[in-house]
Amino acid sequence: MAPFTATTVAAWPLAVLDTLERRGLDGDLALREAGLERAWLAVNPGGRVTVAAMGRLWAAAERLSGDPAIGLYVGLAAQPMHLRILGLLVQTAPSLDQVIDFAVRFQALVSNSVTVSRVHRPGAEGLAIRTLDGTPVHPCALDAFIAAHVHHLVRVAPAGAVTEVALCRPAPADPRPWQTRLCRQVVFDADADVVWHDRARLHTPLPLGDDDLSRQHQQLAEQALAELDRSPPLVQTLRGLLRVRPGEPPTLGELAAAVNLSERSLRRHLAEAGSGYRRLIEEHSAERAAALLRGSDRSVAEVADQLGFSDASNFSKAFKRWYGVSPDRFRQS
């Protein structure tokens, strides 16, 4: 079986970076410690980064801020687009019941490092978040996701929709940040991270609910999920590893070592998936080229040079092969 490495959407490191810099802290230092590149994140927030890189970023953020509750503030500052299509679904869901359904159904669009499910108890409906075996997730990452969920509900749902939050993390010396920013009733050292909702409010229409928009967003989410499913987990993992080092792609041997395979085994797995090392590198170059043209005012020659092409003419030929149009036409459109 091909190896699996968990990834998360690239908008999350941007939210961490923004929170650090609002506090006057060195966000670039945190990114360097995580092995992430600001320029790539800025032009590709819908891309994926490895959860291992995110763990390093969270560790750096906690150390630089000296605040074990930093994840809460990242989650509270997160906008719907930090959750990508899932964020739009939450904003337009007609009821709290559907908000919970969407979170369960489309969680993989945000991160595939956890499973999300519905749990029940008298008078309450819970959204349970559990990490995958062998996939360590930093506690601040879970705080951020839960805080974002609660904060979005504060925007769209009646007061009192969240009745309790259970967290696996050990009880902190000062629990007040969690109690004031999540819910008065916070339980630490729990068996699972669960956000509990008032069952009596599940089907109350939400003020910002919009059936038509919600259906449109569901179609987009289904398409995005299908695209994610079409890419084998190994290919998704390798793409994430390439994105962590956009300026200096790892060699085949380095990629193989990162996923605990020999080079020969990695070649075989890629061939079985209809891919290969050269194809991954070319796909990565195509992705970076489009991102740089969209997100910067660099000339075509400058983009070509940054991607390692000998001249703008060769880059333009490759770009037209990738996208069917010239770099200039792509930028104009």
HEC sequence for 91-157: HHCCEHHHHHHHHHHCHHHCECCEEEEEEEECCEEEEEEEECCCCCCCHHHHHHHHHHHHHHHHHHC
Does the pLDDT at position 2 exceed 60? no
Collect all residues with Cβ–Cβ distance below 8 Å to 212 and sequence separation of at least 6. none
- Rounded to an integer, the average pLDDT of 54-66 is 96
Instruction: Please tell me the pTM assigned to this model.
Output: 0.71
273-308 pLDDT, tens per residue? 778 888 888 888 888 888 888 767 788 888 888 888
Orientation of helix 11-22 relative to helix 51-65, angle to 10°: 10
Does the pLDDT at position 69 exceed 50? yes
pLDDT score of 248 = 76
- Look up residue 221 and give its amino acid: A
Cα atoms found within 13 Å of the Cα of residue 330, Cβ hemisphere only? 21
pLDDT score of 21 = 96
Phi (first) and psi of residue 135, to 5 degrees:
-125, 90
Q: What percent of the chain has pLDDT over 70?
A: 92
125-158 pLDDT, tens per residue? 999 999 888 788 999 999 999 999 888 887 777 7
- Rounded to an integer, the average pLDDT of 41-70 is 88
pLDDT score of 246 = 66
Does the pLDDT at position 38 exceed 50? yes
- The rounded mean pLDDT for the chain is 86
216-271 pLDDT, tens per residue? 888 888 887 777 666 676 777 787 778 766 667 888 888 888 777 788 888 888 88
Does the pLDDT at position 312 exceed 70? yes
pLDDT score of 82 = 66
pLDDT score of 68 = 96
